Structure 1
Amino acid sequence: MLPAYIQIHNQIKEEIDQGIWKIGQRLPSERDFADRFQVSRMTLRQAMTLLVEEGVLERKVGSGTYVAGNRIQEKMRGTTSFTEIIKSQGKQPSTQLISYLSGKPNKKEQAHLELRPMESVVRMERVRFADDVPVVYEVAVVPKKFIARISEEEVTQHFFKALTEAGYKIGKSQQTIYARLAQGIVTDYLGVEPGQAILGLTQVSYFEDGQPFEYVKSQYAGERFEFYLENN
């Protein structure tokens, strides 16, 4: 027989899946839940803590425990565009273009993109949305030679699709993920509080022939996005 806190965990999770408890809804107090399930508050707290750790619930200091909003998930395998990720989860993607400038690559961009100092790049700064909710702020650097015949709108709105239609074959990507605290203008772009946890991602994407075509640094609103690994 499963421990009592696991049974309570499973019951609450099932009720959330069934829509009895809605996303963003405040749950009853631990005392009320403990009375309902006829267990001690310590046992009830074990179940709630596990649900919080799984991202199903979230605690707000001084306010209570709430059903967490659905997070968008990206599988850490292969190379997939943001647009495809969002659409695959039944949401509507959109993009706010902040800047789109041509220039020369810095030393780090030269190294990641295997460019000579005098080659040209396009540096685009964007905020990406899912159902009009800001999810990620990113700065992407692309060698200009790959997009010379592609319009700015196509590049900024559906970059991978535009490359594919231009005859390029998308290959692998290398990603580095790190944790950081939101600060500066990013807090406004993502609608988060200064000091709130966010996910940083640095990614280099390659064509099938191994040639790098994009170097991007992204900052994701941690409560709205998560990465997961899948092994074969």
Structure 2
Amino acid sequence: MTTQWRGLYDELAAAIQNGTLKPGQRLPTEHEQSASRAISRNTVRRAYLALSQAGLIRIVNGRGSYVMQTGLTYEIDSDSRFREVLERQGVASSIQTLSTGLGRAEPNEAEALSIKPGAAVLRQTMLILGEGTPFILTTRVFPADLALDLEERLLRLGSFTALLRDLGLGPLHRVSTTVGARMPEPKEARLLCCPLNAPVLDVVALGRLESGRPVEWQHALMNSRLIKLSFLSP
């Protein structure tokens, strides 16, 4: 015999998977579900927690529970940007900057950017969201000598592409993308609103100017339940 929480879980999971409940849609509160179904709030809470652990909803403290975005394909070529991919698929994008600051290049960063280990770099970590749902947690590293006021310019202009244009350096081209997979750390899972037992895509990419100079090294974690990668041939 199906328990009450499992019955609610199965009903909501089916509604999410068949599209009756739409990505980004807010679910009724625990109190509302409890009152309308004559079941306890603990039963609703257990069902919602299981849906969250399955990656079907995200629970935002103080705001409610929302159906997760799913099934977006990120087509990667030399010029693609994930926020543009979201917008083309009708998903409003946003960025949450977690940290920005000057530091010293780690050996792997320095090798990729063709600079000396310990050279000054600007490091920025941020979340890329679609309709409020976290899709990508990314850290990008830039050579600090691109501009004397690199950090101020990046924060003011809001994007590295706009910064390069402002500096007159031309467009950025992705020249390599390496993809792996692993389980997320607790902090990563919390930021991406994904289960600890579901793998994330571990992506390292390098961007260069038309002159050939590498100017962006990026390490990104992508929620594999939300994103599929497609690599386009040149």
Same topology, TM > 0.5:
yes
Q: CA deviation at 1:72?
A: 2.4
The unaligned stretches of length 5 or more in structure 2 are 1-17, 23-53, 55-67
Q: 1:72–1:104: structure 2 CA closer, same or farther, 3 Å change rule? A: same
* Residue deviations 1:50-109 (CA, integer Å, cap 9, x gap): xxxxxxxxxx7xxxxxxx954222222213223222222222211111111211111111
Cα–Cα, structure 1 residues 128 and 84, in superposed 2: closer, same or farther, change >3 Å?
A: same
Cα drift, residue 147 of structure 1? 4.5
Q: 1:81 to 1:229 in 2, by over 3 A?
A: closer
Of 185, 194, 197, the match for 2:196: 194
Structure 2 CA distance for partners of 1:103 and 1:90, relative to 1, 3 Å: same
Distance (whole Å) between structure 2 residues aligned to residue 188 and residue 101 of structure 1: 23
* Mapping 1:1-232, distance limit 5 Å: 21-22=18-19, 24=21, 69-150=69-150, 151-154=153-156, 157-169=158-170, 170-231=172-233
SS at match of 1:164: helix
How high is the sequence identity, in percent, across the aligned residues? 16
Contact kept, 8 Å, 2:154 with 2:163, in 1: the verdict is no
- Structure 1 residues 205 and 144 mapped into 2: Cα distance closer, same or farther (>3 Å)? same
Task: Name the CA distance, whole Å, in 1 between partners of 2:230 and 2:73.
Answer: 7
Question: Residue 127 of structure 1: SS of its match in structure 2?
Answer: strand
Contact kept in structure 1, 2:180 and 2:202, CA below 8 Å: yes
| Kept in 2: contact 1:83–1:158 (CA 8 A) | no
Query: Is residue 112–residue 217 contact of structure 2 (8 Å, CA) maintained in 1?
Result: yes
* Distance (whole Å) between structure 2 residues aligned to residue 219 and residue 99 of structure 1: 16
Instruction: Note closer, same or farther for the CA distance 1:69–1:134 as it changes in structure 2 (3 Å cut).
Output: closer
- Whole-Å separation in 1 of the counterparts to 2:134 and 2:112: 27
Instruction: Give 1:24 shift.
Output: 4.8
Given that 1:125 and 1:140 are in contact with CA atoms closer than 8 Å, whether structure 2 keeps it comes out as yes
Q: Deviations over 1:142-198 (max 9, x none)?
A: 11122544524246x322233223322223320000111122200110001112121
Taking only aligned residues, the RMSD between alpha carbons, in angstroms, comes to: 2.3
Between the aligned partners of 1:95 and 1:77, the Cα distance in structure 2 is: 21
What amino acid does structure 2 have at the position aligned with 1:71? G
- Partner SS state of residue 161, structure 2: helix
Give distance in 2, aligned partners of 1:198 and 1:118.
Answer: 29
- 2:192 and 2:69 map into 1 onto residues whose CA distance is 16
Q: Distance in 1 between matches of 2:169 and 2:72?
A: 27
Show structure 1 runs of 5+ residues with no match: 1-20, 26-59, 61-67
1:110-133 per-residue CA deviation (whole Å, 9 max, x = no partner) reads 100001235310111111101111
Residues 130/116 of structure 1: CA separation in 2 closer, same or farther (3 Å cut): same
Alpha-carbon separation, structure 2, partners of 1:23 and 1:180 = 32
| Aligned-partner SS, 1:124 | strand
Distance 1:98 1:219 in 2: 14
Which is higher, the Rg of structure 1 or of structure 2?
1
The two structures have a TM-score, normalised by structure 2, of 0.66
Cα deviation for residue 218 of structure 1 reads: 0.5
**Take 2:156 and 2:214, find their aligned partners in 1: how far apart are those partners?**
19
